[in-house]
Structure 1
């Protein structure tokens, strides 16, 4: 699926293409500098008398102030006993990552005070003392070795010439520096190995130098750590998890390596000793002779040079492309190549050689294959450069232009474009920096110009609103919970630290096997817990058809069926929470403010699934409920404290009579809201729409599908208030104005709407008509056009004393915004991406669309969540680009959302059973949600599963008073009531036969139609089934089978029985008793002399499975029981 994402186009890293042998080039990190345009004017700097001191880097601070402290701490240690170099590195590393040093370095801009140095000095001594206690840094005793041979002193020594001495000195110094740099680059070896290697080198004193020679000079070679240079440039302290990187600080404080450069005086002679063979010197000490090499271009080692076409761009074009890649762009994934796209390839040495050889030159004249030669050729106006393989004429023209201007790349490289997703950390860091800069600018402008907000800012600003906007922009995810029962579709905040939410469940007959607990949950944001409660449940009904109707499925499933919790509300005055469910109940809860526990105190039974519950905010204790009932669907309870379960209520129904007498459809409440403004909080607004009783909308008459009714009920007077104009259309959603006695209603268009304008729904604005209706009724005064077929949610917020913003979240994945002062057309259409779940057909009918819309403290931030799983933030006051950013990407469609009472937290629920908590303060993240990766200091936030409730007791004789259950106890009672009491079956007196068909069995329609003629239960049975009937078997083998007398098991034989048995055995006839001739005669006659002879019949053994054996044994036990 294609969706818009933010990518940064970056060029391929330019690598050094010299051939270094078998050593692969070190990877260089990509630099992705992201800079986003802003509509705000550039910020100004505050003018001060004296400039602020420049912040000193970590490297300079450690070198100038911390390193001397460590040196003082180890001054009393002997080099023969400890590895002082490694000990110094360890001590400086521990001090550099300590919290005290990090905090004071940041507060003092890198210039530590004397007090700080005193504390660090004490810490350095303690650290050195701890490190010296172990054996890690102690020098191990060296094993005894035979004495090294010493060279005798030479009697004479030829003094070299002065020029030769200088040349040798310079060469030796150059070689020593090269050797030192090579050793410094090898950072993997330990200090002990380095010490051992250096100890193996023979000292010059041991070689036997002539006396009187001057001492060698000590040359200090400074070394700079690359990691500390990067830290200095960024002026940031290294992270705690980068301890290994800080070990490279050893290059900074490493003891200077002394390079011995001899200065031999001239005319220095000595008596020549007898010739002694010199010892063999290792190869790494012998200096290799210098070999001159011819000048040549570097040989690149890059696979991109093997491509067929090698484009070449001028330096000006390359610079423009590089500048463009620093800005992020919004592209779709379909247009992004999976591999990098090469747009520039420099000329290789082979190509330069090939071009040079093709150039005309006089005989016996050789041209050097270098870029300087080609540059001179182009500037002298020679013939055009020939194109090697893979280069076009356009590439050669661009190459010639760079040669003319001298802007060739010194090192060949390949430039390519690749798409990289802008990371969340990068966006977060840029946002924080941008908001911090904006905050400082606003503070300075307010201090200088006051609250006018126009002089220094050069635009009209409301400082309080701007500060609130910056505060809201810090919102981010701090907690995540999983494993809820279904879609989190409802929720309400109890306090600033806790909220309860409800989910949908699988409760249909075909998917009851997927029903699970976790439909009602209580979340504690402070403790980071999400607890489940089992109260909204019913006994699992018996399914007669489908896969859930088998006995195995009934025995394996939970006896309880958890119902969907679809609505909830909280009344601050009574400190009571209300939840409604498809178990046909509304439950009243007493909730702990911290979200640790809640208990149900009352239950209100209804006649249908309760879709809505809402508490009035006028301190009257009224609570309205709406159920799926054709009559008296809406109830208004007046809660009685201490007797909540028996609270009185009033009811009212839809006044339309179109569906009377129909058993297929009726008018049901589609939405319900209490008034919000003062003077109308006792008014209950209900919208009705037609709905099928079976879920098939085709059963609703076509001319009634767009019909409905708007009812405004006065709960104090118990009467209906008139609402005129557009009050008989199908109602989708309603909303009240927070400060005015006005409301809006989204309905289907009436007959006056023009279809050519593609208007599919209308949003009517009603207000109290004090002139025509005597001040008691409401009438429409404005209508807004909407281009969506179905509307999920409405918002109604004022932007001036008389006008307001109206938003409609629709199933097409869009949110339409109107300004009532700017006419009937929407000023914005805020679009979300494609839904996560696949749909077929019309999206407006198959998709859920946008299910969450909310405003926070200012009108500059509007929040929406849709089926694409993204929560977006908008600024609708921007006419061109209202989108601000995405604050959440969930794995499933967004189903619900709501802000806490103090607007500091936002709770979001999706369709995968996940619940998210977002906060403007990252300190609200619970510590229990984080885990530390092994071996590192990196912390990751992990989703937490809900805390399951205890397993409810199985259905029995005793239940709570608030549990709405049936009176059935077990399968036996259910079978007796369903079949025996209804005379569907009857029991016979013979326990072996058991139950047979009763007088009313035909009413069950439980017949095997395939066994009857023409599949008619009244027709006779087919022959293949008739022969298995008990009556047919009795007619064929007799009515009663003769019982077989049981033979007793014989006792062990005694002497008498053995004698009788031997006597009887002699009476048996055998062939051995016949004569030989008689046996031959019988054989010729074909007599059967042995019954055990094989006559060619195949023996077939029927395998009996374990289940058959168990069944057989069970039948045997049952038959034995009945016989007894």
Structure 2
């Protein structure tokens, strides 16, 4: 049926350009993943949309701690958000791949709960789920891997067979699983050079690999040619064929050809290139097969989509061009395709006259490729203020999800499932418990336990983590009156600080302290004890929430100063809580301290209530650059 798409829902606030989209099977929910850049480190790199509620919810989880990140996060954030490169809805679960070296599997009900994390050795750039060999997931990172989801500890490395003379270091660029039933156990992986030069130079090399995945074995199938840089791979929905967009290295093509689209037929045991379409663009973003015809398309960085008819391979059928980019592009030193991403979305609607493309000009265009070149444009379906980076139809083609440069999301619809009036989607930050679950990740738990087991820290039953008998620093030099060149570990504390140490008699019996100092020291102990009790209270409340309790929403920031571990078998140090102030200035290895970390504050006359007040500001990681209207705060 012919459908007419109209703008219906929108929102802006993702971390950056939206680069991955996924729809649930019933078309009522969607996921959108975005780029995250180090210099900004914005959250909202993965969001979950619900059309029935007209809402979007942040899904935190794809991020790295300073211990694992390759670069130091800006602004002293606790972790660095990472680009979500691929997302796919499989049954009731959402699969997402990211530069944090993981694929995460989420159960989606009223919210998103991560039920499995598949760890990789490098950034994950893509994944493909088999529709004909259930429970098999292929992923592309620095190498290619196959995961049996019936046993998620089972990870098989897919072999890559390159000629001995090929010495160039390559990385995976794309992976795709066969769509037609006869191709359902075939996987194709593409590779290319890690970094392309800024200027257009000689054609780049790469590799193309095909694997056959059987019940008890994995075979490799040789394809020729296979030594080009692979940009994109697409399987035919009806034939045992796939197409690649690649460089032209070693191929007999016209001199003005920069890239090429090749169609490989695998219906027999040997592969055959049935069609080869030269392309003038420097880079190809996406290749598509027309689902009801003989047409092949290539959407490129030059702002155009090229269309060929497989029956007439030596003649280009159409060049479907967009306008200039809405982004500022400098052509002084580079050609346009070096700075602009061009056509980011190319997809087929319900009929052959509904081929849609979206580009950096911010326009979604509809084409009828059966028409003559001068009449091929049906019209502009929608226009946006930012460039279009991705597009995806729901399974029934009633909704079209559009991702924008700069973090925008739009839903176009030909049959709204609820309120037909166009509206902005309401955004909800993730509840504090979602951050808590990330903070209690295996990495942090392992690091905390290491400190405990080594004796560097001890866990006090009331006051939490304190210095242990084997504490090795750091030490506060200002509390020791150090002279130049002295090691703080070998210099005792100044008298006024030694008298305020954690270990020692009750504060009221420390006769060398005057009454004012005793009041201040006792206040620190009281605050620490109160916080310890609050941690236990919050943990109990979180347990209630997971079993059906509620969360109140108000205020202007997610404020949670009481993150506690849910591990009951082994004591865990919470590395993120605004915990009792632990002094790192022990006089001997066996002593611990619990004092004001600043000498000036030693003379503080404020009450414990006054001292608490300074800690009720949200941490940087909870502050959204897009100034949220609604935030989640624990009662």
Partner of 2:79: 560
The answer as to whether partners of 1:872 and 1:886 remain within 8 angstroms in 2 is: yes
The answer as to whether partners of 1:489 and 1:909 remain within 8 angstroms in 2 is: yes
Structure 1 residues 791, 577: closer, same or farther in 2, change over 3 A?
same
Separation of aligned partners in 2, 1:659 and 1:1115: 67
Which of 258, 261, 266 is matched with 1:760 structurally? 258
2:207 is the counterpart of 1:709: yes
Query: 1:957-1036, aligned counterparts within 5 Å?
Result: 959-961=440-442, 967=447, 991-993=480-482, 996=485
Partner of 1:535: 61
- State the Cα distance separating 1:787 from its structure 2 match: 1.0
Structure 1 residues 965, 763: closer, same or farther in 2, change over 3 A?
farther
- State the Cα distance separating 1:960 from its structure 2 match: 4.4
Separation of aligned partners in 2, 1:730 and 1:714: 22
2:245 is the counterpart of 1:746: yes
- Structure 2 counterpart SS, 1:967: helix
2:115 is the counterpart of 1:601: yes
Separation of aligned partners in 2, 1:738 and 1:957: 39
- Structure 2 counterpart SS, 1:496: coil
Q: Deviations over 1:871-898 (max 9, x none)?
A: 1111111113111111221221111111
Separation of aligned partners in 2, 1:684 and 1:523: 31
Query: 1:678-757, aligned counterparts within 5 Å?
Result: 678-692=181-195, 697=197, 706-716=204-214, 718-756=217-255
Partner of 2:16: 486
Separation of aligned partners in 2, 1:957 and 1:672: 29
Q: Which runs of 5+ in 2 are unaligned?
A: 458-469, 488-596, 605-635
Structure 1 residues 690, 546: closer, same or farther in 2, change over 3 A?
closer
Structure 1 residues 957, 682: closer, same or farther in 2, change over 3 A?
closer
2:297 is the counterpart of 1:807: yes
Which of 365, 371, 376 is matched with 1:872 structurally? 365
Q: Which runs of 5+ in 1 are unaligned?
A: 1-467, 770-774, 931-940, 999-1112
The answer as to whether partners of 1:862 and 1:876 remain within 8 angstroms in 2 is: yes
Query: 1:485-634, aligned counterparts within 5 Å?
Result: 485-494=15-24, 495-506=26-37, 508=38, 511=39, 514-540=40-66, 548=74, 553-554=75-76, 557=77, 559-572=78-91, 575-592=92-109, 596-627=110-141, 629=142, 633-634=143-144
Separation of aligned partners in 2, 1:793 and 1:894: 14
- Structure 2 counterpart SS, 1:679: helix
Structure with greater proportional strand content: 2
2:310 is the counterpart of 1:820: yes
Partner of 2:403: 909
The answer as to whether partners of 1:906 and 1:918 remain within 8 angstroms in 2 is: yes
Partner of 2:612: none
TM-score normalised to the size of structure 1?
Answer: 0.39
- State the Cα distance separating 1:732 from its structure 2 match: 1.1
Q: Deviations over 1:583-631 (max 9, x none)?
A: 1111112223xxx42322111111111111221111421111111x2xx
2:287 is the counterpart of 1:794: yes
Q: Deviations over 1:318-357 (max 9, x none)?
A: xxxxxxxxxxxxxxxxxxxxxxxxxxxxxxxxxxxxxxxx
Separation of aligned partners in 2, 1:948 and 1:824: 53
- State the Cα distance separating 1:819 from its structure 2 match: 0.5
Which of 359, 363, 380 is matched with 1:886 structurally? 380
- State the Cα distance separating 1:925 from its structure 2 match: 5.7
Q: Deviations over 1:1037-1095 (max 9, x none)?
A: xxxxxxxxxxxxxxxxxxxxxxxxxxxxxxxxxxxxxxxxxxxxxxxxxxxxxxxxxxx
Separation of aligned partners in 2, 1:659 and 1:839: 40
Rg larger in 1 or in 2? 1
Separation of aligned partners in 2, 1:545 and 1:520: 21
Separation of aligned partners in 2, 1:1115 and 1:543: 35
Partner of 1:220: none
- State the Cα distance separating 1:1119 from its structure 2 match: 11
The answer as to whether partners of 1:724 and 1:778 remain within 8 angstroms in 2 is: yes
Query: 1:180-329, aligned counterparts within 5 Å?
Result: none
Separation of aligned partners in 2, 1:906 and 1:752: 38
Structure 1 residues 659, 604: closer, same or farther in 2, change over 3 A?
farther
The answer as to whether partners of 2:133 and 2:185 remain within 8 angstroms in 1 is: no
Partner of 1:649: 155
2:392 is the counterpart of 1:898: yes
Separation of aligned partners in 1, 2:72 and 2:383: 38
- State the Cα distance separating 1:824 from its structure 2 match: 2.4
Separation of aligned partners in 1, 2:246 and 2:603: 70
2:7 is the counterpart of 1:477: yes
The answer as to whether partners of 1:588 and 1:602 remain within 8 angstroms in 2 is: yes
- State the Cα distance separating 1:868 from its structure 2 match: 0.8
- State the Cα distance separating 1:869 from its structure 2 match: 0.9
Separation of aligned partners in 1, 2:377 and 2:445: 51
Structure 1 residues 652, 965: closer, same or farther in 2, change over 3 A?
farther
The answer as to whether partners of 1:477 and 1:917 remain within 8 angstroms in 2 is: yes
Structure 1 residues 810, 994: closer, same or farther in 2, change over 3 A?
farther
Separation of aligned partners in 1, 2:159 and 2:70: 35
Query: 1:409-448, aligned counterparts within 5 Å?
Result: none
Separation of aligned partners in 2, 1:965 and 1:585: 18
Separation of aligned partners in 2, 1:670 and 1:542: 23
The answer as to whether partners of 2:69 and 2:80 remain within 8 angstroms in 1 is: no
Structure 1 residues 736, 859: closer, same or farther in 2, change over 3 A?
same
- State the Cα distance separating 1:827 from its structure 2 match: 0.5
- Structure 2 counterpart SS, 1:762: strand
Separation of aligned partners in 1, 2:50 and 2:356: 23
Separation of aligned partners in 2, 1:620 and 1:606: 21
Separation of aligned partners in 1, 2:240 and 2:86: 25
Structure 1 residues 519, 1115: closer, same or farther in 2, change over 3 A?
same
- State the Cα distance separating 1:825 from its structure 2 match: 2.5
Structure 1 residues 881, 925: closer, same or farther in 2, change over 3 A?
farther
- State the Cα distance separating 1:653 from its structure 2 match: 4.4
Query: 1:160-199, aligned counterparts within 5 Å?
Result: none
The answer as to whether partners of 1:478 and 1:926 remain within 8 angstroms in 2 is: no
Q: Deviations over 1:257-316 (max 9, x none)?
A: xxxxxxxxxxxxxxxxxxxxxxxxxxxxxxxxxxxxxxxxxxxxxxxxxxxxxxxxxxxx
Separation of aligned partners in 2, 1:565 and 1:789: 25
TM-score normalised to the size of structure 2?
Answer: 0.67
Q: Deviations over 1:346-383 (max 9, x none)?
A: xxxxxxxxxxxxxxxxxxxxxxxxxxxxxxxxxxxxxx
Partner of 1:298: none
Separation of aligned partners in 2, 1:669 and 1:878: 38
Alignment root-mean-square deviation, CA: 3.9
- Structure 2 counterpart SS, 1:788: coil
Q: Deviations over 1:849-870 (max 9, x none)?
A: 1111001221111000111111
Separation of aligned partners in 1, 2:285 and 2:448: 41
Separation of aligned partners in 2, 1:637 and 1:1114: 53
Structure 1 residues 789, 990: closer, same or farther in 2, change over 3 A?
closer
- Structure 2 counterpart SS, 1:863: strand
Q: Deviations over 1:560-602 (max 9, x none)?
A: 3322211011224xx332111111111112223xxx4232211
The answer as to whether partners of 1:870 and 1:890 remain within 8 angstroms in 2 is: yes
Q: Deviations over 1:383-439 (max 9, x none)?
A: xxxxxxxxxxxxxxxxxxxxxxxxxxxxxxxxxxxxxxxxxxxxxxxxxxxxxxxxx
Partner of 2:430: 949
How many residues end up aligned between the 2 structures? 476
The answer as to whether partners of 1:587 and 1:603 remain within 8 angstroms in 2 is: yes
